[in-house]
């Protein structure tokens, strides 16, 4: 099979960096969808649904390309912690996570509209937080890093100081499980990956 163009359906700098790090040539498109959870929907199912919706919507505009849609969600005891609305909301999330272990789900969907193909998978990691004092939370929130991040932290940034440990894929926690993504490229029957020159 000849090389197929790849489109990343995300404007996340972290996902772009991960694809670049594993040598994938791609372009970026954004899917404007409602990312709200449905009533009674489990966090992992929300992530899968949103990743599929992103991939399928963008694939309609790029039918000959392999589109990657992804969604990362944080869950504490089954409660979804999305992106904080503002600094006080971020602080409240970090207070909830303090001293506890939570789940990070990243769902990834691949769509190739020209062949009517769509596949998806879910990757789960666990992250344990240190016990955080109010001063530590306030100092971290003041950096501005928690805003725009699911769960109000970035494990690859200054948020690493909050972490006691993690289990599972690190890149999954960042926003895109690199090894699993490569495996799905091959599962799609793409014999020649679009490596950077």
77-134 confidence digits (pLDDT tens)? 999 998 899 999 999 999 999 999 999 999 999 999 998 889 999 999 999 999 999 9
Clarify whether 77 is annotated catalytic: no
Burial 82-116 (b: 16+ CB within 10 A, else e): bbbeeeebbbebbebbbeeebbbbbbbbbbbbeee
SS3 content of the chain, % helix, strand, coil (to 5): 40, 25, 35
143 vs 32, residue with greater confidence: 143
- Side-chain half-sphere exposure of 181, counting CA atoms within 13 A: 28
Q: Would the CA dihedral through 168, 104, 181, 157 be positive or negative?
A: negative
The CATH-assigned architecture of domain 6-187 is Alpha-Beta Complex (3.90)
Q: Where are the domains of the chain?
A: 6-187
From 21, 32, 44, 71, the catalytic residue: 71
Report the share of the chain in percent with pLDDT over 70.
93
Residue 196, pLDDT above cutoff 50: no
What whole-number distance in Å separates Cα of residue 191 and Cα of residue 144? Answer: 42
């Amino acid at each position: 099979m000849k090389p197929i163009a790849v489109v990343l359906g995300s404007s996340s700098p972290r996902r772009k960096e991960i694809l670049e790090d594993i040598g994938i040539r791609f372009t970026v498109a954004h899917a404007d969808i409602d990312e709200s959870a449905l009533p009674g929907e489990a966090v992992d199912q929300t992530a899968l649904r949103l990743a599929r919706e992103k991939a399928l919507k963008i694939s309609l505009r790029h039918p000959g390309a392999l589109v990657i849609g992804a969604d990362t969600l944080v869950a504490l005891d089954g409660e979804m912690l999305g992106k904080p609305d503002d600094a006080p909301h971020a602080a409240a999330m970090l207070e909830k996570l303090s001293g506890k272990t939570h789940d990070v789900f990243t769902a990834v969907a691949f769509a190739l509209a020209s062949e009517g193909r769509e596949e998806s998978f879910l990757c789960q990691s666990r992250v344990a937080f240190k016990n955080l004092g109010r001063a530590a939370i306030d100092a971290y929130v003041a950096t501005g890093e928690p805003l725009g991040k699911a769960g109000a932290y970035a494990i690859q940034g200054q948020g690493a100081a909050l972490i006691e440990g993690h289990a599972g894929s690190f890149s999954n926690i960042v926003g895109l499980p690199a090894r699993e993504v490569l495996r799905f490229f091959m599962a799609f029957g793409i014999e020649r990956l679009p490596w950077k020159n």
